[in-house]
Amino acid sequence: MNPLFKEAIPILEHLEYHGYEAYFVGGAVRDELLNRSISDIDIATSAPPEEVVKLFEKTVPVGIEHGTVLVRHKQKSFEVTTYRIESGYEDYRHPDKVDFVKDLHLDLSRRDFTINAMAMNKNGDIIDPFHGQSDLKSNTIKTVNEAAGRFQEDPLRMMRALRFVSQLGFSLEERTKEAIMEYGYLLEKIAVERLAIEMEKLWLGKHIQQAHQHLVHTDIYRFLPCFNKDHDLVHKSQLHVKTPFSSLSEAITCMHLFNESFTIDYWCKEWKLSNAVKKDSLQLLQAFQAYMQYKELRPDILYQLQPQLLQPFAHLTTILIGEHVISEADLQMQYDHLPIKSRNDLAINGNDILKLKPEERPGPWIQELIKSLESKVLFGTVKNNKEELQEWVRAWNRQEKG
Ligand code: ATP
Ligand code: MG
């Protein structure tokens, strides 16, 4: 058993001690059986949420109206959710009604796919009323109960099916696939924030090519923001994206480069993405454009990328220019050799500059001067040492006074 489960066993035992049932459920059980790494563990219990809050010392009522309480145990958090069933999704966002139930099987029956509808007890025994283990063996994504009804109830599940294809490389069971083709249009009703979570996982999945094939084949891309306005986008994705994107911002930059009339701003607005994603996407775009202009990886391009964008940048060039144009290892090595990695590394700062020019008042000229110093240092015209930089500032002084 994965150590993360072992760490959570005392939570199950504590609930059982007080007369309740408690099991590991959902994605973690699936990933354990697949020998995949596990990020977060979900626990389902027959205890009502108020009881869970009472029974543990440290809890956070993250979604208590839906039965979810975060239990803190030895500096880790575990989501404990009361067995529940849901009914009606009038707003296509939240179930109209959540009912807490006493029966684990009922809780498992509300889950989306058979591979996600298994429970595991503290001894590692699997409870599997919908034959998820057999679908895991045959690499199949199949809804719990009849697909058409389950997708009409919550259309997001169709997007989830494709993101599981992307993450696991599984096939869609025939009826599940047919229902996606029939009810895909319902995705238009889903809150875009929910879609974006699944789209990001799809873009980052190992089997992205397979997921793209399904996006095309089932036609559901027609009901996704941006893809619905340029049908070529999904075909270009299918043709050129052979390995997973390394970040959401890389995917957005790439989509923009597939059709430049959809700006990064537009993508982020349509998909309601964060400013952080927008910022990284724009930075990647700038670097990519500079690279295309100079046809070489100038130090100022690398400097602007920052370490977290090196891998996305290398991958982006693979998609848009071709394989082996720039390897990530090369990029990293060149980055490591930069004389400075950020403005803080510069051996001179704004105060030093002001001291050298006592007659000047502080103003935007300081930023400009620092910028040109950064560039000189990056290109090796000046060494990053205080004396040389001071000398250069003095020279700049003299020149200006001319
Ligand atoms: P990941 O490893 O990406 O977190 P996951 O399977 O844990 O995958 P979550 O979105 O975290 O996915 O959901 C946890 C569990 O809740 C799922 O395994 C599934 O049983 C259930 N679930 C989540 N979303 C839905 C949904 N829209 N409809 C039905 N069941 C759902
Ligand atoms: Mg999860």
6 shares a domain with 121: yes
Q: How many residues does the chain have?
A: 402
Q: Is the CB of 150 under 6 A from ligand 1?
A: no
Residue 26 region by backbone torsions, left for phi larger than 0, else alpha for psi between -120 and 50, else beta = left
Q: Which atom of ligand 1 is least distant from the CA of 111?
A: 30
Q: Which of 2, 41, 112 to mutate to test the pocket of ligand 1 (most atoms within 8 A of CB)?
A: 112
Question: One digit per residue, pLDDT tens: the chain, 402 residues?
Answer: 899 999 999 999 999 999 999 999 999 999 999 999 998 999 999 999 999 999 999 999 998 899 999 999 999 999 999 999 987 667 776 777 899 999 999 999 999 999 999 999 999 999 999 999 999 999 999 999 999 999 999 999 999 999 999 999 999 999 999 999 999 999 999 999 999 999 999 999 999 999 999 999 999 999 999 999 999 999 999 999 999 999 999 999 999 999 999 999 999 999 999 999 999 999 999 999 999 999 888 999 999 988 999 999 999 999 999 877 888 898 999 999 999 999 999 999 999 999 988 888 888 989 999 999 999 999 999 999 999 999 998 887 655 654
91 shares a domain with 66: yes
236 shares a domain with 120: no
Copy the structure tokens of residue 262: 């959809």
With beta carbons less than 8 A apart as the criterion, state whether 203 and 245 touch: yes
With beta carbons less than 8 A apart as the criterion, state whether 241 and 169 touch: no
350 shares a domain with 332: no
107 shares a domain with 52: yes
Handedness of CA 309, 310, 313, 315 (dihedral sign): negative
pLDDT at position 325 is: 82
Please give the C-alpha separations between residue 381 and each of 310, 339, 374, 385, in angstroms, as whole numbers.
25, 11, 10, 12
120 shares a domain with 6: yes
Residue in this structure with the two tokens 């990647």, named with its chain if needed? 284
Helix intervals (H) in 110-247? 132-137, 147-153, 156-168, 174-183, 192-203, 208-218, 232-240
Containing structural domain, residue 186: 139-244
Last residue of a domain, one of 109, 132, 155: 132
Q: Is 265 annotated as a binding residue?
A: no
Query: What is the number of structural domains in the chain?
Result: 4
- Assign residue 361 the CATH number of its domain: 1.10.246.80
pLDDT at position 362 is: 87
CB atoms within 10 A of CB 308: 12
Q: Which ligand is nearest to the CA of 25?
A: 1
In a domain, 262, yes or no: no
Residue 131 region by backbone torsions, left for phi larger than 0, else alpha for psi between -120 and 50, else beta = left
316 shares a domain with 397: no
In a domain, 263, yes or no: no
353 shares a domain with 231: no
pLDDT at position 326 is: 86
Following DSSP, what letter does each residue of 53-71 receive, concatenated? HHHSSSEEEEEGGGTEEEE
In a domain, 34, yes or no: yes
299 shares a domain with 222: no
DSSP classification of residue 28: H
In a domain, 221, yes or no: yes
Residue nearest atom 12 in ligand 1 by C-alpha distance: 27
Amino acid at 82: T
First to last CA, the chain: 75
pLDDT at position 399 is: 58
89 shares a domain with 72: yes
Last residue of a domain, one of 192, 227, 244: 244
In a domain, 316, yes or no: yes
Q: Residues with Cβ < 8 Å from 93, sequence gap 6 or more? A: 190, 191, 194
- Assign residue 122 the CATH number of its domain: 3.30.460.10
- Going from the Cα of 372 to the center of ligand 2, the distance in angstroms, rounded, reads 48
Q: Is 124 annotated as a binding residue?
A: no
Copy the structure tokens of residue 129: 């009323």
ipTM score: 0.99
83 shares a domain with 37: yes
Angle, helices 156-168 vs 192-203, to 10°: value is 10
Q: Which of 111, 135, 176, 193 to mutate to test the pocket of ligand 1 (most atoms within 8 A of CB)?
A: 111
Residues flanking ion ligand 2, Cβ below 5 Å = 27
Q: Is 157 annotated as a binding residue?
A: yes
Identify the CA nearest to 80 among candidates 88, 89, 72, 92: 72
Copy the structure tokens of residue 387: 């004396």
Last residue of a domain, one of 338, 365, 388: 338
In a domain, 261, yes or no: no
285 shares a domain with 185: no
In a domain, 191, yes or no: yes
In a domain, 254, yes or no: no
